[in-house]
Structure 1
């Protein structure tokens, strides 16, 4: 993949450049839940500091929920007999900021970094924070967590912000990544892909791989001629991504909200037939269905009536594509209270549990779910008690 010099990538670019120089710090904190940027950082660290031939001896993936910070620091201070350099990825940093003062833990951290092992680097993973593209719009709770980490670890560790990638940078990333594959990505197609996936870079990268493989298939290349460059067009995006995964999904939730059971079942079958994995893709469809109902629940609770107001209540990375905003507002308003929306989420959660239990017929599980979602619930005096027991 390409390494674009984009504003959203600036923090990770600086980090990746630094680890390859003598300016390497003994510790870093990877701040944020942007998985794509985290994977980019991890891949760069492994390529530079943990080569494949010694990786089994020098790479340590630790979790503070299972390993104490004292043991982590002791391991970092101990030289390895099998590798010249050691890399420690330490997850669940939030456990250091739970109840209690944790004076002993932070005293041990200070003591280590005053005289760190020069042949080791510790990378704390703070993925319990959500960092928006615009830091000024950071949630107050995340801001407090960010400040506390900076105050306690900032003196010893460099902070690497893994913020959400903004849409223009995501579009440019697509264009430049396509060039590295000798593929042209039409600007309107790139914008449509980013728009449809809400600038979620993990989804964008995954869909880009599918599109690149599609347009470079031997039969496609043969039809283009020897000198023509493969091209990803708006039609390719609408066919490979939006039609199967986005528009049909909102048509399905529209039929559910209208209690149109025959149409909902037809749309379910169409969604499965359009998916590469058929019934095996059912977990992914349930995830998208749950996400859509959560969006409708927030829209309903915030009484959103205009698509312009929707961006104020749904955060970046949790928004629907603009073409679906009005439809989803209309669907959410069909529910008179939050009860049927929370019921829908419970039904989806039960179906998800059933699918993960390897049922004999996955299609039957999905059909029962859609019929239940598209049916008005019958009041039961035992429903509240049953749900409490499930929790």
Structure 2
């Protein structure tokens, strides 16, 4: 697979750890992109911590529970059972909390002046969020980023786990499919990436499902049996088919190609489309249809009522999107990509509908009321109510009802005095 810009930092890291000549004593994995972190971890384990010695050489440590002094002591102490030590150290942010931490950084400097050549320390700084374009990094994250580089940059290599660019995600999908002898249509790849907001962990998960969907052979009757019913109420009997009824050769029903229709069937599924149909009914104040769609959404979910909190999360997210659309006065679906950031966008098929729904709300206050109602229902669900369905139904009814005028609203009181 050709190297992609979004994967360049990780690819460089993987190449460095593959050779003792370029391997450094420590690295800082900067960013919360889980997909790229997972690639780094797998490469480290495959290269430096083989399975037969992994129990003796791999250490997962947390600075919230283990002091940096103990981490460095473990790195300095050779193992009798494994030739090399790998230490993943999470919660790096605790080193940059309150206090000067002079002793801690002095110990770090002392260790790296004479590090153990048979140990690798990987500091995980997943409290940072690094966007695709570093120039758009949040000011607070930028300060943290620079502080880590100033204090650890002299001793540690840095690996930036930034958000993956949408175009790179599309190229990754098509190239990964090609490497497994499956053709992934360009429009299908774009739809997959757009639908999942360029979230690489979700994309990778749905990618695997799609490849299974288009390449799995038909296993409807693998034993070549003929099922015969006796007609007297007794169970049906399966016997081997006679040779005359057996097809000379059965080809697997595979197509090894992922189309746009496959993505819409497997990924965008009823769950996502029904959600926007539900918010459409809510914004139109159509209570009967909203309740029917709620029940359809729950019936289509694998977890039923137990998936309620996930549905509430999506509802809150959708109302937040509508709030931004309303505040920015978006009228054209193409303008959505300018006001909603990567990872917070809706699928392309829902853009026009969501603009229409947002315009039904007359003020910011109505949308913030909806978000507050969802938050209240979320709190109620997390408090283990007797009946989750009743909580959801009440929420949908409240959302689908015109808000009552507040009798204590100063503007209303002023109007009453004038009359």
Same fold flag (TM > 0.5)? yes
Counterpart of 2:185?
186
TM-score with structure 2 setting the length? 0.81
> What stretches of structure 1 of length at least 5 have no aligned partner?
382-391
Deviation at 1:313, TM superposition (A): 3.6
Q: Over residues 110-154 of structure 1, what are the superposed CA-to-partner deviations in whole Å (9 max), with x where a residue is unaligned?
A: 111111121211111111222222222222222222222111111
- RMSD of aligned residue pairs (Cα, Å): 2.9
Are residue 258 (structure 1) and residue 284 (structure 2) matched? yes
Shift of 1:197: 1.3
Maintained 8 Å contact 1:19/1:48: yes
Separation in 2, partners of 1:51, 1:257: 56
- In 1, distance between residues paired with 2:147 and 2:373? 39
Which segment is superposed worse, 296-305 or 21-30?
296-305
- 3-state secondary structure, aligned to 2:267: helix
Equivalent in the alignment of 1:234: 260
Does the 8 Å contact 1:31/1:159 carry over to 2? Answer: yes
Q: For residues 115 and 221 of structure 1, what CA distance do their matches in structure 2 show? A: 63
Asked if the contact 1:244/1:275 (under 8 Å) is kept, the reply is no
Q: What is the correspondence of 1:1-391 to structure 2 with a 5 Å cutoff?
A: 5-22=3-20, 23-219=22-218, 225=251, 229-353=255-379, 355=381, 361-377=387-403
Report if the CA contact (8 A) 1:196-1:246 is conserved: no
Distance 2:372 2:188 in 1: 36
Report the CA distance shift for 1:49/1:369 in structure 2 as closer, same or farther (over 3 A).
farther
Q: What corresponds to 1:389 in structure 2?
A: none
Cα distance, 1:277–1:177 mapped onto 2, change above 3 Å: farther
Asked whether the equivalents of residues 257 and 334 of structure 1 are also in contact (C-alpha less than 8 Å), the reply is yes
Q: Distance in 2 between matches of 1:217 and 1:355?
A: 39
What is the TM-score when the length of structure 1 is the normalising length? Answer: 0.86
Q: CA deviation at 1:15?
A: 0.9
Indicate if the aligned counterparts of 2:131 and 2:163 stay in contact, CA closer than 8 A: yes
CA deviation vs aligned residue, 1:237-277 (integer Å, no higher than 9, x gap): 11122242433222212222222221112222333344444
CA distance in 1, matches of 2:52, 2:44: 15
Paired residue total: 380
State the alpha-carbon separation in 1 of the partners of residues 180 and 388 from structure 2: 37
SS in 1 for 2:218: helix
CA distance in 2: counterparts of 1:114 and 1:146, whole angstroms? 23
Compared CA separation, residues 214 and 280, structure 1 to 2 (3 A):
farther
Structure 2 CA distance, aligned partners of 1:358 and 1:40?
Answer: 38
Deviates most, 97-106 or 148-157? 97-106
Q: Distance in 2 between matches of 1:350 and 1:115?
A: 56
CA shift in 2, pair 1:301/1:190, >3 Å: same
Q: Structure 1 residues 224, 130: closer, same or farther in 2, change over 3 A?
A: farther
Uncovered stretches (5+) of structure 2, i.e. residues with no partner: 222-248, 408-419
- Given that 1:305 and 1:329 are in contact with CA atoms closer than 8 Å, whether structure 2 keeps it comes out as yes
Deviation string, structure 1 residues 198-237 (Cα, Å, up to 9, x no partner): 2111111111122222223332899994596422211111
CA spacing shift, 1:220–1:114, aligned 2, 3 Å: same
